Amino acid sequence: MRGELLNRFKEVYGDAEGADVFFAPGRVNLIGEHTDYNGGHVFPCALEIGTYAAARLRDDRKLRFYSANFPEAGVTETSLDDVVSGENAVDYKNRKLMWTDYPKGIIWTFTQNPHYKKLVKKDGKLLIDRGMDILYYGTIPNGSGLSSSASIEVLTAYIIKELYNIDISLKDIALLSQYAENKYVGVNCGIMDQFAVAMGKKNHAIFLDTSTLHFEYAPLNLGEYKIVIANTNKRRGLGDSKYNERRSQCEEALRRLHAVVDADTLGDLTGEEFETYKDAIKDETLTRRARHAVYENQRTIDAVEALKADDLQRFGRLMNESHISLRDDYEVTGIELDTLVEAAWKQEGVIGARMTGAGFGGCTVNIVHRDYIDAFEKNVGSVYSERTGLKADFYAVDVGGGPCRL
């Protein structure tokens, strides 16, 4: 891959002198959906598919971006001065989202967020003092819910760390990337995606408490089973989905609960506490949104305990319950995701299946016995095509590590 990217870099930019190659993974969340912005637990893992980039510093202040996934768009050129001015950041609601907003947002955050700005200054001067040429190539299906956006954000931040010699931890790279997506791209996401990409560990998932950022690595000992991702191929973008709406609904439910219970987040509540105090919400829709956040958090805690006890069957049942809650209480699935999951539940060799990611399209995650993967893909794909008219893509994936220089 390194040689291929450098050759493509040379084709696009004329030469590859001084360029180096980097990688950041995608991620899949095994359980714990829409809990990260509600102060709950999540259980994602990094994947061996992700985003690659060849990059080099320039002698001037030009920034040039190119994606091998969107060659028709050509090279996008801007200047460091335009990006760090911050003028575009405050106007994200009135501009069309472009893929280059993700790397631009990272550069802007490094230089404009006070917490990170101090990291990029030395002797009163910005370390990010000249431009870059970057060529990206992603192996994550766009809009699939496997965090192509977080992957490109973390990758760009890691490239900046390496090329400009900035002393920043991988944990801070995750937080910086979340800030960029919130404030520059305009998607009010939680920390899970960026954290899973930045902190990924080979053959491990990350059990993360999003309210404290306390985490532990949990070995993924699946034995004869593999993670199979099914892509609906229904594109969705978080910025124009109901993602932000769901977050605001949970915030409103929590605000109403404050009248009767002291809880900083919905993730602070047990199921029993929620049932005791839920009448204070006084709205059926808001109650269902909050119920999902509370019970999904508990399911995630229980699922990690099941995995530690080598109880894969219980882990799978909790995955199934997660999807039902996302379908009925949180209403973020839709016919495409429901069709894939319900077909998966009927297949031999399947322990569990659920939607993963924000929803409204994207992917499902399935735990499938390796002897039944071919039959699983054939049967589920056939049912899906007949019902939706779309073709699903399937990926039997391995769990990878975090960002690196190749």
Q: How confident is the model at residue 114 (pLDDT cuts 50, 70, 90)?
A: confident
pLDDT band for 117, please (50, 70, 90 cuts).
Answer: confident
Residue 88: is its pLDDT beyond 60? no
Between CA 362 and CA 358, with CA 372 as vertex, the angle to 5 degrees is 15
Highest mean pLDDT among 145-154, 214-223, 239-248, 345-354: 345-354
Least confident of 177-191, 252-266, 315-329: 177-191
As a whole number of Å, the CA-based R_g of the chain is 21
Per-residue pLDDT at 91: 59
Helices (H) and strands (E) in the chain, counts: 13, 15
Q: Is the confidence at residue 156, as pLDDT, over 60?
A: yes
Q: Residue 297: pLDDT above 90?
A: yes
Position 87 pLDDT exceeds 60: no
- For β-strands 62-67 and 132-138, DSSP reports them as parallel
What pLDDT is attached to residue 239? 44
Handedness of CA 36, 356, 21, 203 (dihedral sign): positive
91 is catalytic: no
Q: CA dihedral defined by 30, 254, 94, 362, rounded to 10 degrees?
A: 20
Q: Which of the four pLDDT bands, split at 50, 70 and 90, describes residue 145?
A: low
> How confident is the model over 318-335, as pLDDT tens digits?
999 999 999 999 999 999
Sign for the CA dihedral angle at 153, 80, 77, 55 comes to negative
Catalytic residue among 193, 268, 328, 374: 193
Residue 382 phi, psi dihedral angles, 5° rounding: -65, -45
Token pair of 404, please?
């690196």
- Measured from the Cβ of residue 20, the count of other Cβ atoms closer than 10 Å reads 18
pLDDT at 86: 59
- What does the alpha-carbon distance between residue 204 and residue 206 come to, in Å, rounded to a whole number? 7
- Least confident span in 139-143, 235-239, 291-295: 235-239
pTM above 0.85, yes or no: yes
- For residue 354, give the nearest of 318, 379, 384, 328 by alpha carbon: 318
pLDDT tens digits for range 225-251: 999 999 999 866 554 467 789 999 999
Query: Comparing 128 with 123, which gets the higher pLDDT?
Result: 128
Q: What is the pLDDT of residues 33-58, one digit of tens each?
A: 999 899 999 999 999 999 999 999 99
% of the chain with per-residue pLDDT over 90:
78
The pLDDT confidence band at residue 190, using thresholds 50, 70 and 90, is confident
Look at residue 127 and tell me whether its pLDDT is greater than 70: yes
3-class SS of residue 205:
strand
More confident residue, 288 or 113: 288
Percent of the chain whose pLDDT exceeds 70:
93
Q: In whole numbers, what is the pLDDT of the chain averaged over residues?
A: 92
What are the residues whose beta carbons fall under 8 Å from the beta carbon of 96, sequence distance 6 or more? none
pLDDT tens readout for residues 7-27: 999 999 999 999 999 999 999
Contact 16, 244 (CB under 8 A): no
Residue found by looking up tokens 């095994």 in the block: 30
Closest CA to 77 of 44, 100, 56, 105: 100
Q: What are the structural domains, with CATH classification, of the chain?
A: 2-32+45-204 (3.30.230.10)
| pLDDT above 80: residue 85 | no
